[in-house]
A and B are shown apart, each in its own frame.
Chain A
Amino acid sequence: MPYSELIKNFERIRDYIRDFYVYGFKTREEYDTKSARSYDNERRRIESWLGDYMFFRQVAEGRNVFLSMDSRSVSLNPLYSAFLSKSFTALDITLHFIILDALSGDKQLSVRELTECIEADYLSAFDNPPVMDESTLRKKLKEYESLGLLKSAKRGKELIYGRTDSEAESIDLKSWRDALAFYSEIDPLGVVGSYLLNKLESIPDYYSFKHHYILHALESEILYALLLAMGEHRDVELSMFRPHRNKASQTVLPLKIHVSAQGGRRYLMAFSRRFKKIELFRLDFIRSVKPLEPEPEYEKYAERAERFLKNLWGASAGTRRLTGNAEHIEMTVRVDDGEEHIPMRLEREKRCGRVEIIDKHTYKFVADVYDASEMLPWLRTFIGRIISLSCGNPRVTEVFYADIAAMNEMYGGDKVALQ
């Protein structure tokens, strides 16, 4: 196949963009699961779409390709460009413009009428027009009806087609200009907003976004399939890039999308049919989603997910099924004069925990969570103020103290390298 900057499906390119953007230190030879030619083609495509953000570094082992940008300085996610690269046939593009033109002005035509119109009014002027019969056209009209571009109605025995943007159904997209610019970045399916922005004459450029994980765009197709399944209360079969509990695929009932605004990770919270419990799956580890049958008692599972959230700190359920209990944790912090922001921090960051005021200078954070070890990163952010720490899981305090000791050694002035 000759090289094309357009692609048929998104799966492979998704993997490359992620590697270039998140890691960016691999050489060509390290993309060992794919052929060298495949690597060259994918790199060339990504450069064609995202050239402004692509950089190269020569190292002893070869050349590293990486994507780098401060997402705060871009008002439109550059990775959306990749979604504008779907391949098509000559007939697809030809019929697209001709059908929408032939049906403009609230015109409604049957397949037969439209076939005649296309041949007589649009294609007869060309020497070698593409072969198009009624069945090809019927298939395209059905496809466009399912996309929502066309609607059909009965006229006698015939089905007639018209556009869906008649005056009565019009939407004032201009009034959405600012909302689209904002939500195309913030909404988990913002790529849809970027499609809408492309319809506008100009796009507001005065929005910027801090703590903005633009990489999430790459999972849009997966997320869309999951949201459809959630809306229809359907089971799905997940196929994973990385096996989950040694299984490359799993049947689950999707219940929620669980998002970290701080760490860049997003999860599907779902009821696992195999393990008969709620589990979390990284969205970026899901290769594909296949819809299955609807679950009539979906609400029962949705309520279970809500209850599950009550003791979930992050995304780990830990060993609660072995111990039967959540792990109790308490951290007391010292607050000096002028440090009013510390109690504020505790309040806004406490999640499922609670804050107790011991006195003006002492605050206690208390929580019962499934897996206290996933609180360690957050606990460390209070280094310098922690006057006591206790946890039902002694491993958590052991790791915390060991980490403090290791950091003291690391920054304490001796020459010991990172161990």
Chain B
Amino acid sequence: MLFNEIYGKYFSVVADVLKEAVNGTLSGPKIADIVREKAFAESVLNIPAALKSGEWPLLLPDMTTKIQNAPTMPLTTLQKRWMKALLSDPRVKLFSPSVEGLEDVEPLYTQDSFTYFDRYADGDPYDDPAYIEHFHTILTALRENRKLSVKSEGLRKTVHKWICIPHRMEYSEKDDKFRLIAMAKHIRLTVNIARVSKCSLADPWTPDERQALNRRDDTLVLELIDERNALERTMLHFSHLEKETERMEDNRYRVTLRYQRDDETELLIRVLSFGPLIRVISPERFIEKIRERLNKQMSCGL
């Protein structure tokens, strides 16, 4: 069963409380601290009381327990079957997990159980040894707080070289690509891992050197009329962005989306895909780009 209390917050928090009790380091205030830190917002009203009152007879009034060992739980069949299924994913080589202990486990599904019908066909080369090596180097830098020396090739064969501080490894489900997000001096870099031609670890970075990722965000305001199922399609399509929706009239809505300026062209294409079902209200720069496309279309003589 997927939705089961054994995976739940209450069980894991009580395990942490009992661990302290087994170690002989538990106190009343500590229970409350653990619950506040690790459970849901209102759990503090329930868990300490149930433990202290003996409703859950696991803790004695002196904060000791009859439990002998710090609580642990074996992996469930569901967890093992899920892990086994991952081993047939082409991307799993990038993470080198140990297959030990899963030899006799039946995978939960096979790769052909799924089709990703609109995923781009030029995804990253997950079998390429050079790609795997670069990926491992970047992961090591992220784990060990090291700088990276990166050489990559642009779309028009331009070669770029940086010493950078890696911040994130970003994956796009639509593009099926990994990108390194990093800072080189004051410049924010987005480097497709597949375009990296050389990559090596450099010195550890110091907290003074690591600057926050500068992000240029913008706001797109749209209006839509709920025809041809436009409302449901728009809401779901853009649901991964920060957004706010207001109902103007019965079937007219205003949607405000926050997006990264770097993604503006992609967002423009996505907005165009809705045609006249959505209308951009602002920013003017975005509207002007739509006008340019429409004017260019007029010149195509269609």
Contacts and interface: CB of A to CB of B under 8 A. Distances in A.
Interface of A: 4-6, 9-10, 21-25, 47-49, 51, 55, 57, 59, 64, 66, 68-72, 81, 83-88, 90, 92-94, 96-98, 100-101, 104-105, 121-123, 125-130, 146-150, 163-165, 169-173, 175-176, 178-179, 182-183, 186-189, 191-193, 195-196, 198-199, 204, 206-215, 220-221, 224, 227, 230-231, 256-265, 269, 309, 312-315, 334, 340-341, 344, 347-351, 376-378, 380-381, 383-389, 401, 403-404, 406-408, 410-412, 418
Contacts of A175: 96-98
Given A186-B171, A211-B174, A348-B120, A387 B302 contact: yes
B206 interface: no
Contacts of B297: 383-386, 404
The B interface, classified by DSSP as helix, strand, loop or mixed, is mixed
Contacts of A125: 60, 66
A204 B94 CA distance: 15
Contacts of B276: 403, 406-407, 410, 418
B181 A208 contact: yes
Contacts of B67: 97-98, 101, 122
Which 6 pairs from chain A and chain B are nearest by CB? Answer: A148-B77, A165-B74, A406-B276, A171-B101, A384-B293, A179-B95
Given A210-B172, A334-B300, A261 B119 contact: yes
Interface of B: 1-12, 14-15, 18, 40-43, 46, 50, 54-58, 60, 66-69, 71-80, 82-83, 86, 89, 91-92, 95-98, 100-102, 106, 108-109, 112-122, 139, 142-143, 155, 166-176, 181, 223-225, 231, 233, 235-237, 239-247, 252-253, 258, 260, 269-270, 272-276, 279-280, 287, 290-294, 296-298, 300-302
B57 A130 contact: yes
B47 to A, nearest CB: 10
B14 A51 contact: no
A192 B80 CA distance: 10
Contacts of B118: 260-263, 314, 349, 351
Contact of B302 (A9, A206, A388): A388
A326 B161 CA distance: 50
Contacts of A121: 66
Contacts of A196: 75, 79, 83
A312 B241 contact: no
Contact of A312 (B117, B172, B270): B117
Contact of A69 (B7, B108, B168, B242): B242
A231 B83 contact: no
B57 A70 contact: no
Contacts of A21: 239
Interface centre among A94, A96, A165, A388 (most CB of B within 10 A): A96
Given A6-B10, A93-B56, A101 B71 contact: yes
B115 A259 contact: yes
A147 B3 contact: no
Contacts of B269: 381
A377 B273 contact: yes
Contact of B75 (A100, A126, A165, A404): A165
B79 A262 contact: no
B247 to A, nearest CB: 5
B234 to A, nearest CB: 10
A362 B203 CA distance: 49
Contacts of A57: 244, 246
